[in-house]
Chains A and B, each alone.
Chain A
């Protein structure tokens, strides 16, 4: 499986500011995903990020709030914009293998606290 790193690992931010989370993979992958895991909850898919195309957002998530970049096959960023305390969560990137059953592997996550 791919080795995935995320930066930062954690941050404390003030409301109204923005944070960009980086996800780096040690091999080229087509499909990358961004998830959110709120305390005591399961994982919720924010968007799918494919290189060379616009990210595809899930219901309840919009590009203005969570802009995503995917400049190449090993890197992606997720920005959490105009943060509020409700954005406090763990943000995870994942990558999928290129063949069925398209297993997903997760990065270590970014723990965000908004005050």
Chain B
């Protein structure tokens, strides 16, 4: 079993829809990252959080440390949000980033 699991693996949405991507992990963590990867490979860090909730524009990230679960929400989705979203946790024991396999999101106009 992977230490970081994401769901769903693939997601298709219509423009304007509310989107949720989930991340569950099984290790103790110091922090959790949400990353966005567009075709071509470039990765952008969206959020880094260790508790509570963060908001940036239409994106919201939450984390529940007790339940070892995080969610990334996109409100009013847009075709430019189409990308792979990757959850990564910083292991408390090893100080290494462990990555989920990613969620491929496609938003259609």
Do A and B associate with each other?
A: no
Residues of chain A whose beta carbon lies under 8 Å from any beta carbon of chain B: none
